[in-house]
Homo-oligomer: A and B are copies of this chain.
Amino acid sequence: MKILCTQENLNQGLNVVSHLAGKNTTLPILDNILIKAEDGIIQLSSTNLEIGISCRIRGKIEEPGKTTVPARLFADYISLLPNEKILIEESEKKIYIKCTDQETTIQGMNAEDYPLLPSLEKKNKIQLNIGTLKDAIKETIFAAAYDETRPEISGVLMKITEKEIRLVATDSYRLAEKIIKVEKKQVGEIETILPTRTLQELIRILGVTAVENLDIYLAENQALFCLDEIEIISRAIEGSYPDYQQIIPKECKTKVVANKEELVKTIKTTSLFSRSGVNDVTLKIFPDKKEMVISAVNAQLGENVSRLKVAIEGGENEIVFNHRYLLDGLQNINSEKVVIEIINNTNPGVIKPEEGEGYLYIIMPIKQ
């Protein structure tokens, strides 16, 4: 293999693929990236056996072939080179690199031993704006379960219906749901549970490309994301997602509208006095005073009571939330004012933006 390309093109490609290759002690070749120069196309790819990423880069193939090279070292090295032409030549698993006044040889591994990236048939295309998808992932992913004792909720549900794309995540203590309306009628309904690692990698890559839209192809056990020269393929999580619709409260006894920034700052302040491990803050709502009182008591440290002017509909009420869950949700709402809807301290509370539809965040109260 012998190729010529610019440092800029190679560096951009490596930014996309090299991140996935990690310290893999059982299969060392997964620490490498695969470089393929065949049929007039130079392609970089990497996989961790769950996710596969490939990226085509522009360049000139002088001799076709393929090889693998340690991802971290190669990416670090290329990133430090000046933006000039780079010659890469492989011979007997040694990769020779020349750029201006620098000559380097890196020890590679046999390309034949590199695992094949899975593939997925490109049918039932869903097209989405990159910004819309990135926001929707950020607004839901944090609510997914950390541990994998219940694997089906350790990922994010992506559900396609005729006119909507829904992203849902829950760890059974709180739930986030984002609905994206689509104008073009979608072909067929499908539900896929995507691993959080896949979505994190996707967000990272969406951040380093200048592309505007991406194409998504979903199957029950796989998902494929295509952005111009980049393809990300991932396995999906097996199992069926819980029927979360039933826990969304259908009614509300007290509705509070508060300034988001003020509320976040007050909860941060009060939470300094929460009981550690419980993380409880108490919200008391007084319609006659138009006031929400946020408080916490910690026998060792002390206590805090803060009063916040808010708009209230409905009766007096009281609920205890985990302040971390509360802040997670509030920080993902892009609205000057937020709505909090409460029934009582046994039913989940609902948080949503005052303006704009399509986002819902539900928290289970701490029962006392």
Interface membership of A101, Cβ < 8 A:
yes
B301–A103 contact, CB under 8 A? no
Output the least CB separation between A251 and chain B (Å): 31
Output the least CB separation between A301 and chain B (Å): 6
Given contacts A80-B268, A272-B73, contact A301 B106 (CB under 8 A): yes
Residues of B within 8 A of A302 (CB): 73, 94-95, 104-107
Residues of B within 8 A of A269 (CB): 77, 80-81, 102
Rounded to whole angstroms, the CA-CA distance of A307 and B106 in the bound complex is 18
Given contacts A101-B306, A306-B102, contact A76 B301 (CB under 8 A): no
Interface membership of A303, Cβ < 8 A:
yes
Residues of B within 8 A of A301 (CB): 70, 73, 106-107
Interface membership of A203, Cβ < 8 A:
no
Interface membership of A327, Cβ < 8 A:
no
Interface membership of A305, Cβ < 8 A:
yes
Rounded to whole angstroms, the CA-CA distance of A302 and B302 in the bound complex is 60
Q: Which A residues form the contact surface with B (CB < 8 A)?
A: 70, 73, 76-77, 80-81, 94-95, 101-107, 265, 268-269, 272-273, 300-308
Rounded to whole angstroms, the CA-CA distance of A196 and B303 in the bound complex is 38
A265–B80 contact, CB under 8 A? yes
Residues of B within 8 A of A102 (CB): 269, 304-307
**Chain B: which residue is nearest A308 at the CB level?**
B101
A307–B101 contact, CB under 8 A? yes
CB<8 Å pairs between A and B, sample of 29: A70-B301, A73-B272, A73-B301, A76-B272, A77-B272, A77-B304, A80-B265, A80-B268, A80-B269, A80-B272, A81-B269, A95-B302, A101-B306, A101-B307, A101-B308, A102-B304, A102-B306, A102-B307, A103-B304, A103-B305, A103-B306, A104-B273, A104-B302, A104-B305, A105-B302, A105-B303, A106-B301, A106-B302, A107-B300
Residues of B within 8 A of A265 (CB): 80
Residues of B within 8 A of A95 (CB): 302
Output the least CB separation between A288 and chain B (Å): 17
Rounded to whole angstroms, the CA-CA distance of A258 and B158 in the bound complex is 57
